[in-house]
Amino acid sequence: MTLFRASVLDTPANPFTGGRLRSDDDCGLLVEQGVITARGPFETLRSTHPDEPVLNLREGILLPGMVDTHVHFPQVRIIGGLGLPLLDWLDQCALPEEMRLADVDHARGVAHDFVSGLVDAGTTTALVFGAHFAGAVDTMFEAADQWGLRVTTGLVTSDRLLPEPLLTTPERARAESRELADRWHGKGRLRYAVTPRFSLSASDALLESCAQTVAEVPGAFFTSHVNENVHEIREVASLFDGAAYVDTYDRHGLLTPRSVLAHDVHPTDRELATLAGRGTAVAHCPTSNAALGSGLFPLRRHVEAGVRVALGSDVGAGTGFSLFKEGLQAYFAQQLLGEQGLPLTSAHLLWLSTAAGADALGLADEVGVLSVGRQFDAIWVLPEPGDPLAVGLANAASANDALSKVFALGTTSDVGGVWVGGDQIAAGRWRRPRDR
């Protein structure tokens, strides 16, 4: 057992429906076998548990671990390819890199770089877009398992339009996916996600094989892309006899509460109603949408339609792993939308990057907030003394203001410690809590 002492911020209730930031300045969290078993004023917990070791994190802020609902493992080494719209970026940046993952040893190195990127950023749970090669997906599961991260991932499948080495058949996709799921789904903190790349590169036969795989792997997730770029949407419509993009998945029964579709920058109202009706979540990827010029995400329309929304970094079209940056960019996008935008507070940004992600991934009972009964997945925001964030936190007018400063100024270097299920898996770049 460990008694953590910290200034804790989290969002137990959805700020889009009236929830507020929960702020406990001198909070005690008792953690037993990875689970929070008591929470309250530190001195109260100290007096009832006088013999437990105390980990004092009062300097800085303790937040729930970040939850990234859309991030591509094969793209870690190509972050920063700016200046191209989606389909050109895929052709020139992403797909050539993804073909290199046919080599398992190369893939293992990429998986290592990728998982390090997640951990450094304080991401403790992720829905990871995998690779087109089963051997590469194995290396991703292995790396996540070694670090103890909560990762849901799977084989990316396509049977048209992409370069030949990235193509499969519906039968092979199903067989390889089943094999990977048999090996990894439900092992430790890992789960399987059935992952056609996008309808543009997936025939109806491939999508139908995806539906069969979902049915054969109880508890499996489904993830793909939707409505990201206007040219892409036009092409999808012409390939599917004018169908709406969302319907290309829905008519195979692929949209359920265990489905997450990335982007959805240009939905119709009817598509939003379908997503809401199915309980499918959308991964909003703000820096990617800006970098590729895909558009400004209509968050208000999603929220008003009742669609669940969480954040995704969309590495490597997105510009890094930090969900602080994604949160800030989400805020910017809503500001730029003017009257159509949904003004966001720091509580919204924390919700979107933690509890909303946990909800989208069906893990709301386990992670996303630092409440009794939840896993102790947490990050310690601890800027270096003198850093503008440290100065800002020292002078914050309120907890909401302090949290705004975290999103405005925070980077991966400010993550001073990362815990998953009570285990500390990273100690930040410049100091460890136990040294203090």
Kindly list the residues in this chain that would bind Zn ion in the complex (CB under 5 A). 262, 314
Minimum distance from residue 180 beta carbon to ligand GUN (Å): 19
Cβ-based neighbour number of residue 435 at 10 Å: 6
Minimum distance from residue 397 beta carbon to ligand GUN (Å): 37
Cα 435 to Cα 8, 55, 381, 421, 430, distances in angstroms? 21, 11, 16, 21, 11
Cβ-based neighbour number of residue 385 at 10 Å: 9
Residue nearer to ligand GUN on the CB measure, 283 or 369: 283
Residue 197 binding partner per list Zn ion, ligand GUN, none, with a CB distance cut-off of 5 to 8 Å that depends on partner kind: ligand GUN
Residue nearer to ligand GUN on the CB measure, 10 or 228: 228
DSSP-derived pairing of the beta strands 415-420 and 281-284: unpaired
The reply to whether omega before 316 is within 30° of 0 (cis) is yes
Does residue 317 bind ligand GUN (CB under 6 A)?
yes
Q: What is the spatial distance between Cα 122 and Cα 420, in angstroms, rounded to a whole number?
A: 10
Judged by CB under 6 A, the residue of 94, 136, 296, 402 near ligand GUN is 94
Name the DSSP class of 90.
I
Residue 228 binding partner per list Zn ion, ligand GUN, none, with a CB distance cut-off of 5 to 8 Å that depends on partner kind: ligand GUN
Minimum distance from residue 301 beta carbon to ligand GUN (Å): 20
Name the DSSP class of 91.
I
Helix or strand (DSSP H, E) at 151: strand 150-153
Please check whether residue 37 is in contact with residue 369, taking contact to mean a CB–CB distance below 8 angstroms. no
Whether the CA torsion 241, 245, 247, 248 is positive or negative: it is positive
Residue nearer to Zn ion on the CB measure, 312 or 417: 312
Minimum distance from residue 187 beta carbon to ligand GUN (Å): 26
Judged by CB under 6 A, the residue of 288, 313, 322, 346 near ligand GUN is 288
Residue 94 binding partner per list ligand GUN, Zn ion, none, with a CB distance cut-off of 5 to 8 Å that depends on partner kind: ligand GUN
For residue 259, which amino acid is it?
S
Q: Which of residues 45-84 bind ligand GUN (CB under 6 A)?
A: 72
Residue nearer to ligand GUN on the CB measure, 191 or 225: 225
Name the DSSP class of 170.
H
Minimum distance from residue 207 beta carbon to ligand GUN (Å): 14
Q: Which of residues 221-240 bind ligand GUN (CB under 6 A)?
A: 225, 228
Residue nearer to Zn ion on the CB measure, 232 or 250: 232
User: Which segment (86-94, 136-144, 169-177, 335-343) binds ligand GUN by CB under 6 A?
Assistant: 86-94
Question: How many of the chain's residues bind ligand GUN (CB under 6 A)?
Answer: 11
* Alpha helices, DSSP H, located in 240-293: 245-250, 269-278, 286-291
Measured over all CA atoms, what is the biggest interatomic distance in the chain, rounded to whole angstroms?
Answer: 69
Written as six digits, the tokens of 299 are: 């968050």
Judged by CB under 6 A, the residue of 39, 197, 308, 348 near ligand GUN is 197
Helix or strand (DSSP H, E) at 404: helix 399-409
CA dihedral 288, 290, 291, 292 (to 10 degrees): 80
Minimum distance from residue 213 beta carbon to Zn ion (Å): 20
**Binding site residues, ligand GUN, CB under 6 A:** 72, 86, 90, 94, 197-198, 225, 228, 288, 314, 317
